[in-house]
Amino acid sequence: MAKQPSKKVLDRNQNLVQTRIYWTAALILVITGAILLQVINLQVIRHDHFTTLSKNNHIKILPVVPSRGLIFSSDGVLLADNRPSFTLEIVPERVADVDSVIEQLGRIIAITPDDIQRFRDLKRRARRFEGVPLRLNLNDEEVALISVNRHQLPGIDVVASLNRYYPLADSLSHTVGYVGLIDEEEFENLNKSNYSGTSYVGKSGIEKAYEDLLHGYVGYQQVEVNAQGRKIREIYREPPGPSKDLYLTIDASLQILAVQALSGRRGSIVIMDTNTGAVLVSASSPGYNPNLFVDGIDRNIYADLLRSKDTPLLNRTLQGKYPPGSTIKPMLALGGLSRHVREPGSETWCPGWYSLRGSTHRYRDWKKEGHGHVDMVHAISQSCDVYFYVLARDMKIDLIHETLTDFGLGKRTGIDIGGEADGLIPSRQWKREALGQPWYPGETLIAGIGQGATLVTPIQLAVATAVIANRGRLVRPYLLSEVRDSATGQQVIRASTHEARRVIAANPGDWDVIIHSMREVMHGERGTARSSGAGTEYQFAGKTGTAQVITIAQDEEYDEDEIPEEFRDHALFIAFAPVEAPEIALAVIVENGGGGSRTAAPLARELLDHYFNRQKRLETG
């Protein structure tokens, strides 16, 4: 018979069991307590937070992007449109391996390295739950291929949207501008909430200057989605704030005619309302196709645009700087009259050249045999250089500077799309500060015929011409005419024109002399542009100009046929019409076009005829 354990052993075993039971019970209590605390934390303390997270598993807040406002000309021609487009997007939070998915997609549709790079750039700025565009402007076949294979591509969406389109292409590229994909710098400066879901922003021209009006305000929608993130239904929708449609001062028919007139040439034509400053034509040639920039321009095409000797990306109207040549002669003549440096009837002898006292250097006139005795009217109408050499000598450079800047030359006009160049009207102070050199008398003579360091932009030249038409009053040019609500079509803003301000105080008789002289340019027996003024039913005042690109030596003759095209003279012309009650002013510059009377003035005549013939048709019904 087995020996029974002693009472001592039994007591020790019993104590051990009880100890284990106590520790187990304590552990159970601790675990239970921890579970209860966590339940309280989840169900009570953080109830709202986890309820929201739970809903977010099947409810999403998505941006509703406003449709970008349209842009029209003053005669109702659509200049910037929105066209339906399909975009392939990837939602990063729903894709485990983005690179693998892109590789899969590349076997279905064409995806370029540029597409991938753009996607990566946009992905860095987007939130993980937002769709990031990979391919833009899918065609119908590509949309169908994606749809067929969609079950194998989690996190992929084909999104219908509106894409910017410019119907007139290069005819208004510099003025209307274009939209493009938002870059890193722009993203940092934009209101991120308002641009949620938006990939485009205005890059230049009207599109950039009036971005806030054209873009509108983003809305949002609350939608229910399934486990794959597909939208099932819309729960709530806050519509986007309406964008605005813009109506410009541009006259589309006149603009197209100006672009056609400049076709194959480099140059600019500006036409503006002399009374208000409304810009009817802003043609810069050559232009470029802004549609190429909307979704990111091909690198090779962009490189070709940059390398082109014709510089199509340059807005010559605002940024092209040219010697004004003889177009400034009426302005200097007015300065001479108003400062009592000249009388209208005083004559200057022109033998075909002029020399400063003590110098053998001859400053030549365009007419080799000279003009003989000329007064102010004949000097302007025949564009006598010698008369203006002598006038410049007597006025001196600082008075020339003061006179031309009063007309608005050499400084920005303040047009409402920005991007202007200043130009340059030289003075003693300018040369001393910019070059550290003194001013020489010979430079004054050259400045008197609009050569040397003098540089102006076409828009400045048009404004200065309007100052003559307005007899000393300056109007600021502008392009935005009115703003309408894109949803209702109701006018919400009428562009306020800047009141003309008097910048030149001269006697009425002085203005009469200058305007009569410019009329003689067009309609006088010996006017330099009389062939362009012949046979008109209206009277207009103008001034031709020819600006040298290279200097011709004293013993050389200018032979256009022997000079490479890029070194030939620029052709310029300014005018306003009708003489009696001016309505419009214009400036024409044709780079390397030769003489202003031969090249630029005929273009202006064609445009003026179109304007006034149409006005006549409208008046007669």
* Catalytic machinery residues: 326
DSSP E strands in 443-564: the ranges are 473-474, 480-485, 491-494, 501-502, 541-547
Closest to 110 measured CA to CA, from 139, 83, 149, 131: 139
Q: What is the CA radius of gyration of the chain?
A: 37
* Dist. CA 123–CA 118, nearest whole Å: 8
What are the counts of helices (DSSP H) followed by strands (DSSP E) for the chain?
22, 23
CA 503 to chain CA mean position, Å: 28
How far is CA 106 from each of CA 101, 113, 288, 381, 387, rounded to the nearest angstrom? 9, 11, 31, 69, 73
**Amino acid residing at 606:** E
β-pairing, 200-202 vs 59-64, is unpaired
Element (H, E) at 498: none
Provide DSSP, 353-421: EE--TT----EE-SSTT--EEE-HHHHHHTT-HHHHHHHHHHH-HHHHHHHHHHTTTTS----TT----
How far is CA 566 from each of CA 265, 355, 445, 593, 610, rounded to the nearest angstrom? 11, 30, 25, 9, 31
* Dist. CA 323–CA 548, nearest whole Å: 8
How far is CA 141 from each of CA 109, 110, 267, 300, rounded to the nearest angstrom? 9, 12, 43, 27
Query: What DSSP state is assigned to residue 552?
Result: P
DSSP E strands in 137-178: the ranges are 156-165
* Dist. CA 238–CA 149, nearest whole Å: 33
β-pairing, 541-547 vs 570-577, is antiparallel
How far is CA 502 from each of CA 423, 466, 470, 532, rounded to the nearest angstrom? 22, 12, 9, 31
Query: What DSSP state is assigned to residue 249?
Result: S
Decide: 252 and 229 in contact? Cβ < 8 Å.
no
